[in-house]
Amino acid sequence: ALRLTVVFILSSLVSIVGHKRPWPATLPQELSALDISVRIRVDPEATFPVSTDFGRLVSAAPAAVLFPSSNLDIMALLSFANDSPRPFKVAPRGRGHSLRGQAAAPKGVVIDMRSLARRTGGGHDTVATTLSPITVSSCQDGSDPQGSAYVDAGGEQLWADVLSETLKHGLAPKSWTDYLYLTVGGTLSNAGISGQAFRHGPQISTVYELDVITGKGEMKTCSKEHNSDLFYAVLGGLGQFGVITRARIALEPAPDNVKWVRLIYTNFAAFTKDQEYLISLDGRPTPGTNSTKSKGFDYVEGSVFLDRSPVSSWRSSFSPADSARINSLITKYGPVYCLEAGIYYRNASKFAAEKDLDRLLEELSFIPGMTFIIDIGYVRFLNRVREGELQLRAQGLWDVPHPWLALFVPRSRISDFNARVFRRIIRENRSKGPILVYPVNRDRWDERTSAVIPDEGVFYSVSLLWSATTETLEQLEAQNEEVLRFCNDEGIKVKQYLPHYEERSDWVKHFGAKWEVFLERKRKYDPKRILSPGQGNFTSSA
């Protein structure tokens, strides 16, 4: 008992004076003399939680964690690292919802971006009520050069908090991710896609301006007009060029409700034909004519149910009775495809939304009677994955390994992809996670950003969102490899989203014509290759 008590007292002392531990050998001793050192912790209570991420597939401990109190702390750390004769790696970490260590800084310093939000009342996993670094401007009188409403949000903010703040002004961002508990800086470092991307582009297409602290520790404001090279570098830039501390994001009037529609197909060609038709309806003028295309749905996604388990997915929620109907189709025909769409509406225009919906449904060729339509509040609609998360958390099934594979598949090969991947390689997905499949329009992406997409006017976002156990992990990883091998062997020019490669040659291939630009920008903004080493872009002599 005495030994236990001594151990307990010692470990308590360690946690109290953790930052007084011996300075890690991998970091220059001079760092401990800087003012920011009081906000740097080297104890395992600080370093352990940021050693892994949502993927739970890799573990890499940093030597230290910086809990910044302001942007100045981040500038001080980065300029010190850059100027040091012994530069060390630094990774900003948003919510750590990467999959394979992309927000890690092995033996370096992780910047806990969320500590900036915690200082202003946010930082918990609930929607905060007061958040000073989120400022909404609803200037719609033409006096604003950027033309419409926007929000200035700290890079550390959760999209859920941005939504709650903008809604106070009756406004909301235009483009989303399916899950809102991700940070602004984290999703803008990738792209940020969901069912609105076909119309508004990914989240990176809806940014007007950024504040970025480069790898040299310099704070720069950038936009399409000003420091545009840095602006485009950072968007989709995998955290390689700087730390996003503020993003100015376009807003639109927020609807009250959504007509949320799910339509079932057994024929993949009919499913994708309808999806592609719906993403062509954008309400914009048809080139060369005076006519305007009808607006269609505001949200278009889709998923595949390979076996009798649609109810079990955290991404879809069918009632047991509806699920039974879908399951009987699966038993009879094999894979079933579910087109998911939404029409936004204000309370006052519910009737018009109903008429629009009837008109649109008449144009589609889902299985008659297999329509599932509900009216749902806008916030609940956007935040619906949260409900699935909380259910899985309660069952202890959220914090498990996630060997996800996300691909952009060119439209011309999506049918080949279906025939082999959904129908043969992935034989069943019972309880292993949802599969999302939906098309987006390439012209809503800006070629100048660092994001990489297929070279076709329409491409599909395909996400295999696996949850693994120790028994199934190896099998799921092997299955992912088989999918990638198939695409490679068959010349299907897929691009990985949330990419992960270990070989330089794979990165060069991934970026294609953009590789040289990516390298040049790295030389310019992070010459010592300090930032976000967990992405693995520059592990070798690239």
Q: Which of 73, 161, 178, 276 is catalytic?
A: 178
Options 39, 89, 93, 315; binder of ligand FAD; rule CB under 6 A: 93
| Residue that has been written with the tokens 């670094």 in this structure | 133
| 499 contacts ligand FAD (rule: CB under 6 A) | no
Residue 195 or residue 308: which is nearer to ligand FAD going by CB? Answer: 195
Per CB under 6 A, the list member of 24, 96, 296, 403 interacting with ligand FAD is: 96
315 binds ligand FAD (CB under 6 A): no
448 neighbors 232 (Cβ within 8 angstroms): yes
Number of CB atoms found within 10 A of residue 374's CB: 10
Reading the block at residue 260, the tokens are: 């949320």
Q: Which is nearer to ligand FAD, 148 or 227 (CB)?
A: 227
Q: Which of 64, 109, 244, 261 binds ligand FAD (CB under 6 A)?
A: 244
97 contributes a contact to ligand FAD by CB under 6 A: yes
Q: Does 207 bind ligand FAD (CB under 6 A)?
A: no
- The DSSP code for 196 is T
Angle ∠(262,286,252) on CA atoms, nearest 5: 60
Q: Is 200 a catalytic residue?
A: no
Does position 336 interact with ligand FAD (CB under 6 A)? The reply is no
Q: Does 68 bind ligand FAD (CB under 6 A)?
A: no
For ligand FAD, give the closer residue by CB, 52 or 327.
Answer: 52
Does 106 contact ligand FAD by CB under 6 A?
Answer: no
Residue 91 makes contact with ligand FAD by CB under 6 A: yes
Closer CB to ligand FAD, 217 or 534, in the complex? 534
Q: Among 67, 80, 88, 179, indicate the residue that binds ligand FAD (CB under 6 A).
A: 179
Q: Which residue number, 412 or 496, has a Cβ lying nearer to ligand FAD?
A: 496
Furthest-apart CA atoms within the chain: distance in Å: 86
Clarify whether 169 is annotated catalytic. no
Helix (H), strand (E), coil (C) string for 352-410: HHHHHHHHHHHCCCCCCCCEEEEEEEHHHHHCHHHHHHHHHHHCCCCCCCCCCEEEEEE
Looking at residues 109 to 148 of the shown chain, list those that interact with ligand FAD (rule: CB under 6 A).
113
Number of helices and strands in the chain (H, E):
17, 18
Task: Check residue 157 for interaction with ligand FAD (CB under 6 A).
Answer: no
- Least Å from the CB of residue 233 to ligand FAD: 11
Among 191-199, 297-305, 448-456, 499-507, the segment contacting ligand FAD (CB under 6 A): 191-199
Among 136, 162, 243, 453, binds ligand FAD (CB under 6 A): 243
Residue 250 binds ligand FAD (CB under 6 A): no
The enclosing H or E element of 248 equals strand 242-253
Is 217 a residue that touches ligand FAD (CB under 6 A)?
no
Among 512, 327, 490, 511, CA closest to 412:
490
Which residue minimizes CB distance to ligand FAD? 185
94 binds ligand FAD (CB under 6 A): yes
* Residue 177 binds ligand FAD, judged by CB under 6 A: yes
> Distance of CA 21 to CAs 73, 198, 489, Å?
21, 51, 52
Q: Which of residues 269-308 bind ligand FAD (CB under 6 A)?
A: none
Query: CB 122 → ligand FAD: shortest distance, Å?
Result: 13
Indicate which residue of 73, 97, 156, 209 is catalytic. 97
Q: Does 532 bind ligand FAD (CB under 6 A)?
A: yes
Nearest CA-CA partner of 10 in 358, 34, 21: 21
Residue 111: name the closest of 203, 192, 183 by CA: 183
Write the CA distances from 331 to 257, 298, 320, 324, 430, integer angstroms. 35, 32, 16, 10, 14
Select 203 or 327, whichever has its Cβ closest to ligand FAD.
Answer: 203
Q: Does 189 bind ligand FAD (CB under 6 A)?
A: yes
Alpha carbon distances (Å) from 281 to 199, 276, 286, 297? 9, 9, 10, 8
The enclosing H or E element of 14 equals: helix 2-16
Residues 95 and 62: their CA atoms lie apart, in Å, by 16
From the CB of 536, what's the least distance to ligand FAD, in Å? 10
Report DSSP letters for 133-170, one per residue: T-EEE---SS-STT-S-EEEEETT-BHHHHHHHHHTTT
How do beta strands 336-345 and 257-265 pair?
antiparallel
Helix, strand, coil proportions of the chain in percent (round to 5)? Answer: 40, 20, 40
Number of residues binding to ligand FAD, judged by CB under 6 A:
36
Residues that bind ligand FAD (CB under 6 A): 53-54, 91-98, 102-103, 113, 155, 177-179, 182-183, 185-187, 189-194, 238-239, 243-244, 498, 532, 534-535
Catalytic residue positions, numbered: 97, 178, 301
